[in-house]
Chains A and B, each alone.
Chain A
């Protein structure tokens, strides 16, 4: 089955630690995105990538980092510089760089700082 896989589903982090969230897609999509979801605030864009080895900051990139070494993978690292990392993180991909098309979402990772 084609789709976007995020892992783990739940993640706990101690304050001061970096943590990496995984996102893999087998849809052969060019573009991939990371969003953060907080209650009552919708989805906010953290980083996005159109092609391998290239990515751009979104609206709330501070305290996060990404890499795009392979087309199918777009991991997100939440660093200790992120002051309020507890949130639901969603990865998405879209198929066509030539026109705006729908974004397909993964099932999300819920990160909690303990």
Chain B
């Protein structure tokens, strides 16, 4: 099955700096890569996603890059703000054989702390 590794497990930055979180996946058939942000005591919320036919996607201060050959993808947050502090999860998904279901496999999570 799919295995997703996420690094680093914790990341501390100063407000205004950039933050980068990296993930690798094992199954070359995976074709959908979302990133979720989870605040304390809440469920994860999607912040950006990318599909395998695209190499990069941006949304204001957030960007995701995908390298299919190397099987890794990264989340980039620029001009970080204290409210960016949260746990971030990457995930990979592929369509299961014979079904329409896309099974999301998550990384272990990164605790991001942005210091004012």
Known: A42-B6, A42-B108, A100-B32. A48 touches B41 (CB 8 A): no
Total A-B residue contacts, Cβ distance less than 8 Å: 66
Q: Do the beta carbons of B45 and A59 come within 8 Å of each other?
A: no
Contact size range, B = 20 to 34
Question: What distance in Å separates the Cβ of A15 from its nearest Cβ neighbour in chain B?
Answer: 25
Given the known A-B contacts A102-B49, A108-B41, are A42 and B103 also in contact in the complex, defined by CB atoms under 8 Å?
no
Bound CA span A107–B42, Å: 5
B53 within 8 A of A: no
Chain B residues near A (Cβ < 8 Å): 1, 4, 6, 9, 31-32, 34, 36, 41-46, 49, 89, 93-95, 99-109
Chain A contact residues, CB within 8 Å of chain B: 4, 6, 31, 33, 35, 40-45, 48, 50, 56, 58-59, 90, 92, 94, 97-108
